[in-house]
Structure 1
Amino acid sequence: MASREIDNQIAELGGLLQAQVDDLALLIVAAIHAEVEFYHADNAVSGDSLFASARDNLSHVFRSLEGTTGPDLSSAVEIGRLRAEQGVPLASVMDSFRIAAHQIWQSLSGAIAGMSADAALALAATEKIWSAQDSYTEAMSGAYRDHATARAIDDEAERAALVEALLEGHHLADYTRWDIARMLAIPAQGPYVVVAAQPPMPGRMPLPDIAGRLRTVDVYSAWRLLPDVHIGLVHVGSRNAYRKVVELLGRVANTPVGVSPQFDDLTDTAVSMRYARLAMQSVPSGMLVKEFDDSVLGVAAVSAPDVTRKIAEVVLGKYDSLQDADKELLAATFRAWMLANGSVDDAAEALSCHPNTVRYRLRRIEQVTQRSLRVPKELTELCLAFEIADRL
């Protein structure tokens, strides 16, 4: 059969099928509702919308047989964008296009059989419809992915703004802190902690998928990545939940992580973020996770950093001019003595040294700072100063 004759017959096929577009589109919609779970379990896409998209798809393919289809794939692009906007999973969209392709093939086969066409015509017509269907499907899926990506970026940007408002204590339009918490799926009743993790480099996530990991232990959280810190508000509804959070952080952390004291009121989130940052910045060597204890001294030490640093300088005096090794040794001795409630023997046991060694080091602290451990006011100043030195 001559090429021109084949082209004419293919165009005739296209015209026959184009006349059946509405009936075929209805068959496709019925099959989609029957075979694709999303469409018969969800009302996000109306039957009219499915009919319109099926009709556009069929018309594009059949016009390719008639030779009247140009390079315009705008309807495919619009369908891809619309389904992404409607939240239809791409797999479900592709299933609907598979059903449409099957219907196109059945219709073409029936029309060819009715014309008693030879193999050359069948092959040429088949090549045209698959080429047209492929280009249409590719344009649709590309538009779907582009729009879904844009939506995800918009959603993430909106979520980041909500998290930042909650952490910083800012108002966002007419929303209260508790409104924002609910929008982020954070329970409105505490207790909470703030977690601060140091990025391995600016802008790099130090705790990838931490929200998802915490959900596996039934803990809700919201996170914000800043250039110098990864901050999270974490709901810890029980002592057991809190321990699960700390244990999980210990397993996944590769950089220093600080955990604030627990708090019940979302209005305390901003100050708790500061405590978490300070804990992160003072993680001891050999550790990766530090919990900020909520002792009176600890809170006092960090409440006004500029002021408390000056207090430490004044109280500790010449202590800061000592070699680092000496400072660490004296500070460790003082902490051990305090934890031992002033017992030299217990401090010596904790430090694995002789009690006289502890006494000698305590006298050195008195000499360097010119403050006596036996005078309550001066001891209080030393306790606060060493707490400040340890935390800031």
Structure 2
Amino acid sequence: MTRRFPRRSTSPAITLSADIVDRLHGLLPRVGEDVVAAIIAEVPSYQDALAGPMGGTIRTAVGVALGGFLSIASGQGAESVPATPEALEGAYELGRGEARSGRTTEALLAAYRIGARVAWRELSSEAVAAGLPPEALVEFAALVFAWIDEVSDASVAGHGDELATTGRVRQRLLERLVRQLLNGATTEVLDDAVERAGWPPPTTLTAALVPPSQVSSVLALVSQDTLVLEDQSAADDATLLFVPDAHGHSRAVLLRTVEGRGAVVGPAKPWREARTSYDRAVRVREAGWGEDTEAHLVPLVLGADPEARADLRASVLAPLSELRPATAEKLTETLRCWLLHHGRRDDVAAALFVHPQTVRYRMGQLRELYGDLLDDPETVLALTVALG
């Protein structure tokens, strides 16, 4: 496929004679090897890279680039300078390969600068020896370095495109991993998804539901391995983040990070059980209870099955069912305070804003209605849960 690249003007100010071009063509294999050797010596990230298959690719790219340069310099490609398809395509693919190898554009451009220096030194010496007038060296230098700029631009474009493509692919794999976590996938499926995405599994994951407008600022302050899913319908208009290893002291840091941002943070759970953290965060967010789900464990437990709790409440309050509603309400609240304050009469009175004698009277009524059941541990537990 032919690609279009941003162009620099490389129309030659000079045209090399056929004799000079022939001499330079014969020099190209040696120049290519010298360029590669100089890159190995001067750019640390290339010291081991040029020995294997990638080394062959780079040597080929150098040869194609130099050959394309001579084609331009000889005037053969003067009308088609903006195309130079072989050299530019080779440089583009070289940039993509360098991105896949993990090398930066800085390293890539350093290699080009070194290559330009070596190529200019050797080609200019040979060109002069072959009859190029010394006064033409300035134009020759401009042609060499303009050509290097051209092919390096193509390589940078390839490097950027590869990173963008790789990033999109990895993001899709990470989103798939999040969905598998939410859907309760098996250990084998999750481990395979982790390997495919190249994601380092942590000890725990913590769900955070964050308003979309706050996601970027939160992501800037948490682990770069945080998983993100934007379109999880159960979270309404919130974006789901799964933050790695935000347990122990790190939880306080995460809570400070989201403070005031309208987020909800679930509990830290073993990473394969992250769905539990998400579910809890959703429940607290729907209830509007605040940022930290772990500050609301009692209401979460009591509200886990509202219908069952209503049935339990009706069952344990059955002895009050024959009373007038106002009386039943007063005794119910007194019984609740009595349970919560472990029967301490003064504390119960203070909580109800009544006289301790009133508490004594009401508890007498309750003991008449419940009998020995108020001393039965199972009944006390049922009453505590129902009235908590």
Q: In the alignment, which of 26, 38, 45 is matched to residue 33 of structure 2?
A: 26
Q: Distance in 1 between matches of 2:189 and 2:19?
A: 66
Q: Does 1:223 align with 2:227?
A: yes
- Aligned partners of 1:74 and 1:171: how far apart in 2? 44
| 1:196 aligns with one of 198, 202, 208 | 208
Deviation for aligned residue 1:233: 5.6
What are the residue-to-residue correspondences of 1:1-392 with 2, within 5 Å? 7-9=14-16, 12-42=19-49, 46-69=54-77, 70=80, 71=83, 72=85, 73-114=88-129, 115=131, 117-119=133-135, 121-171=136-186, 175-178=188-191, 180=193, 184-187=199-202, 192=204, 194-201=206-213, 204-205=215-216, 207-209=218-220, 211-212=222-223, 222-227=226-231, 228-232=238-242, 234-235=244-245, 241-253=247-259, 254-260=261-267, 263=269, 266=272, 268-282=273-287, 284=289, 288-291=291-294, 298-299=300-301, 301-302=303-304, 304=305, 307=307, 340-341=341-342, 343=344, 345=346, 354-357=350-353, 384=385
Does the aligned pair in 1 maintain the 2:16–2:74 contact within 8 Å? no
Post-superposition Cα deviations, 1:335-367, rounded to whole Å, max 9, x if no partner, equal: 99876556565578xxxxx4452789x99xx9x
Q: Which residue of 1 aligns with 2:322?
A: none
Task: After superposition, give the CA deviation of every residue in 1:238-265 in whole Å (9 maximum; x if it has no partner).
Answer: xxx42322333223442222223x5558
Specify the SS of the correspondent of 1:232: strand
SS in 2 for 1:80: helix
1: CA distance, partners of 2:216 / 2:334: 38
Quick one: distance in 2 between partners of 1:341 and 1:68? 99
Q: Is the 8 A contact 2:337 2:348 kept in 1?
A: yes
Over residues 22-54 of structure 1, what are the superposed CA-to-partner deviations in whole Å (9 max), with x where a residue is unaligned? 111011111111111111145776332221121
> 2:174–2:227: 8 Å Cα contact kept in structure 1?
no
Distance 1:66-1:46 versus aligned 2 partners, 3 A rule = same
1:156: how far off? 1.5
2-side partners of 1:137 and 1:29: how far apart? 15
Deviation (angstroms), 1:7: 4.2
1:55 Cα deviation after fit: 1.0
What TM-score comes out, normalization by structure 1 length? Answer: 0.68
Mapped to 1, the partners of 2:355 and 2:189 lie a distance apart of 55
| Distance in structure 2 (CA, Å) of the matches to 1:344 and 1:30 | 91
Equivalents in 2 of 1:75, 1:157: separation in Å? 29
Are the counterparts in 2 of residues 205 and 230 from structure 1 also a CA contact under 8 Å? no
Give the CA deviation at 1:138.
0.9
CA distance in 1, matches of 2:239, 2:381: 34
Give the conservation status (yes or no) of the 8 Å contact 2:93–2:155. Answer: yes
Post-superposition shift, 1:149? 0.8
What whole-Å deviation, never above 9, does each CA across 1:132-171 have from its counterpart, x for those lacking one? 2211111121121012111111111112212321233125
> Would you say the 8 A contact 1:160–1:224 is kept in 2?
yes
SS class of match (1:207): helix
Equivalent-residue separation in structure 2 for 1:256 and 1:373 (angstroms): 45
- C-alpha contact 1:255 1:288 (8 A) present in aligned 2: yes
1:141 match: secondary structure: helix
Change (3 A) 1:341 1:59: farther
Q: How many angstroms apart in 2 are the aligned matches of 1:291 and 1:335?
A: 24
Q: Sort the Cα spacing of 1:212 and 1:204 in 2 relative to 1 into closer, same or farther, 3 A.
A: closer
Alpha-carbon distance in 1 for matches of 2:122, 2:193: 54
- CA distance change for structure 1 residues 298 and 67 in 2, over 3 Å: closer, same or farther? same
Superimposed CA distance per residue, residues 164-222 of structure 1 (whole angstroms, 9 cap, x where no aligned partner): 212331259xx3445556763225xx6x4532223145x95572145427xxxxxxx64
C-alpha separation in 2, matches of 1:226 and 1:373: 53
Paired with 2:64 and 2:220, the residues of 1 have a C-alpha distance of 41
- Quick one: distance in 1 between partners of 2:352 and 2:297? 32
1:249–1:123 distance in 2 versus 1, CA, 3 Å: same
Q: Return the index of the structure with the highest Cα Rg.
A: 2
Separation in 2 of the partners of 1:185 and 1:333? 54
Gaps of 5+ in 1: 1-5, 214-220, 316-331, 349-353, 367-371, 388-392
Residue identity opposite 1:98 in structure 2: R
Paired AA for residue 248 in structure 1: L
- Quick one: which amino acid aligns to residue 280 of structure 2? Y
Does the aligned pair in 2 maintain the 1:169–1:269 contact within 8 Å? no
Identity score, percent: 19
1:62 to 1:209, Cα distance in 2 relative to 1, 3 A: same
Name which of structure 1's ranges 34-43 and 90-99 shifts more when overlaid on structure 2: 34-43
TM-score (structure 2 length as normaliser):
0.68
Query: Could you list the runs of 5+ residues in structure 2 that have no partner in the other structure?
Result: 1-12, 232-237, 316-332, 363-368
